[in-house]
Amino acid sequence: MSERWKVVIIGGGFGGLSAAQHLNSDLVDVTLIDRRNYHLFQPLLYQVATGSLSPGEIASPLRGILGQQKNTRVWLGTVVDVDTDAKQVFLADGTVVPYDSLIVAAGSQTSYFGRNEWQEWAPGMKSIEEATIIRHKILYAFEVAERISDPEQRRAWLTFVIVGAGPTGVELSGAIAEIARQTLKNDFRSIKPEEAQIILLDGAPRVLMSFPEDLSKKASRSLAQLGVQLKCGAMVKQVGEDGLTIESDSRTDSIAAKTVVWAGGITASPLGKILASRTHTETDKGGRVKVNPDLTIPSQPDIYVIGDLASAMDRKGKPLPGLAQVAMQGGAYAAKAILRRAKGQSEPPPFHYFDKGSLAVIGRAAAVADVFGAHLSGFVAWLVWAFIHLMYLVSFQSRVLVFIQWAIQNLTFSRGARLITGAAPTDFNFSKGISEIKPEPVNAPH
């Protein structure tokens, strides 16, 4: 086994997992390293944040997925550095892992554009822990509003602001609107959940900037129907315990809101910069490593960078977007290239991203889809969305469960995972009309 070509994959997301699965061959030994023991189906993370799904339904242990693949081992660990001369990867615990080929698929993280202190008040949407914190905050806000008497305070607790009107922000705000209007309809006595304000902010002039303009308009209309207030062209200036300050049309406004979610931007994993400096390569302004047309690093034919960490171009010289599809196709490409090399075959043609389209779901049964150039919206688009997502979950046990849970929800509007877990909430002082609850820090274990 030790004589075989050694492939190390950093990251078990869409890119890394796809690469590992395409390396199922006796020619290579594969080691997949991730800080987590599971693969996360990020496109459904907003459903965890809004209590529709449990974490276990959108995440699956990497060992389980790759258990039958005998040439592959999974290691729990954090990669901190790479020695490209000695061809070694270093883990935080001091372990040294040698490679013949390296696939770096370390992904991206939430970016606060230099204002990391906002994270405390506006958690991002990249991990199960963050999604659980957001779920806690949303459900807890309704609980507080139910018991508070001061109308101004109550309004602040019933105001939900989502920063960033990309697919995640659109999906999240639609889901919160549905919780407020439908799911909790009968559950409260003092408040009317439909009084809740859901505000979706973006600096861009329209929602879903990466979509064609007609679909973006349709999405806006669907959001408005659900009761989401759109504020495009608005820049966030400050975020704090009691809400946020925004600037639009050179006017500054304050929004009193106890729940703010940051779906505003991402930046590459710090490993990108480390790798770039070790290999004298450039990164783009998002911290992504500029790669060759075959996804290798210039002058490093044995190192592939794929997915959100790579700054790759399509044939027209346009940068490839940070989508699961791009990462998966990149992983498959890198795997095949490595297998060719292990077989002594020639280099493959450059990587070509096959764009199947984009999708964003808005609420319970509507979506917009740009599929192979066709622009779909409404229920038809939702069906396409549901079909594609369920198909991806094909390798997980959870598929059946997710489907049934969706079906039940669509019939009943109920949400099964509406739990406020974590430390018992700090009790707040209703008699003073002000709250002493502190949201849990984003780094807290969840």
* 413 binding a second copy? (CB under 8 A): no
Shortest reach from residue 12's CB to a second copy, in Å:
12
* 284 binding a second copy? (CB under 8 A): no
* 274 binding a second copy? (CB under 8 A): no
Among 345, 352, 419, 438, binds a second copy (CB under 8 A): 419
Active site positions, annotated? 171
Shortest reach from residue 310's CB to a second copy, in Å:
23
Length of the chain: 446
Shortest reach from residue 55's CB to a second copy, in Å:
6
Residue 90's beta-bridge partner residues?
81, 96
Nearer to a second copy, 116 or 397 (CB): 397
Cα dihedral 24→30→34→37 (10° resolution): 60
**3-state SS, residue 341:** helix
* 434 binding a second copy? (CB under 8 A): no
* 186 binding a second copy? (CB under 8 A): yes
Shortest reach from residue 412's CB to a second copy, in Å:
7
- 5-10 vs 101-104, strand pairing mode: parallel
* 60 binding a second copy? (CB under 8 A): yes
CB 109 within 8 A of CB 67: no
User: Count residues contacting a second copy (CB under 8 A)?
Assistant: 72
Among 114, 317, 344, 445, binds a second copy (CB under 8 A): 445
Stretch that binds a second copy, among 230-238, 270-278, 358-366, 416-424 (CB under 8 A): 416-424
Stretch that binds a second copy, among 9-17, 59-67, 196-204, 378-386 (CB under 8 A): 59-67
Stretch that binds a second copy, among 163-171, 309-317, 334-342, 417-425 (CB under 8 A): 417-425
Instruction: Report H helices in 300-444.
Output: 324-342, 378-392, 398-412
Shortest reach from residue 355's CB to a second copy, in Å:
32
* 416 binding a second copy? (CB under 8 A): yes
Structure tokens at 356: 């199947």
Nearer to a second copy, 381 or 442 (CB): 442
**Count of beta carbons in the 10 Å neighbourhood of residue 67:** 11
Query: Which residue from 319, 318, 315, 275 is spatially nearest to 298, judged by alpha carbons?
Result: 275
Shortest reach from residue 267's CB to a second copy, in Å:
18
CA distances, 377 to each of 188, 207, 218, 329 (Å): 33, 15, 7, 26
Collect all residues with Cβ–Cβ distance below 8 Å to 345 and sequence separation of at least 6.
Answer: none
CB 355 within 8 A of CB 363: no
Nearer to a second copy, 128 or 312 (CB): 128
* 442 binding a second copy? (CB under 8 A): no
Using CB under 8 A as the binding rule, the residues of this chain from 137 to 166 that contact a second copy are 139-140, 143, 146-147
Query: Which residue from 296, 340, 324 is spatially nearest to 22, judged by alpha carbons?
Result: 340
Among 102, 175, 184, 384, binds a second copy (CB under 8 A): 184
Structure tokens at 370: 């740009």
Using CB under 8 A as the binding rule, the residues of this chain from 252 to 271 that contact a second copy are none
Query: Which residue from 334, 342, 344, 338 is spatially nearest to 310, judged by alpha carbons?
Result: 334
* 319 binding a second copy? (CB under 8 A): no
Among 4, 25, 84, 91, binds a second copy (CB under 8 A): 91
* 130 binding a second copy? (CB under 8 A): no
Encoded amino acid at 297, one letter: I
**Count of beta carbons in the 10 Å neighbourhood of residue 392:** 16
Using CB under 8 A as the binding rule, the residues of this chain from 189 to 228 that contact a second copy are 189-190
Among 26, 95, 117, 379, binds a second copy (CB under 8 A): 95
Among 22, 24, 25, 35, binds a second copy (CB under 8 A): 35
Helices (H) and strands (E) in the chain, counts: 12, 25
- 72-76 vs 289-290, strand pairing mode: unpaired
CA distances, 166 to each of 91, 116, 208, 338 (Å): 34, 20, 5, 35
Using CB under 8 A as the binding rule, the residues of this chain from 371 to 400 that contact a second copy are 396-398, 400
Among 23, 59, 156, 361, binds a second copy (CB under 8 A): 59
Helix/strand/coil percentages in the chain, nearest 5: 35, 25, 40
Among 24, 25, 56, 355, binds a second copy (CB under 8 A): 56
What is the distance between the alpha carbons of residues 39 and 50, in angstroms, rounded to a whole number? 20
Shortest reach from residue 378's CB to a second copy, in Å:
27
Nearer to a second copy, 64 or 298 (CB): 64
* 233 binding a second copy? (CB under 8 A): no
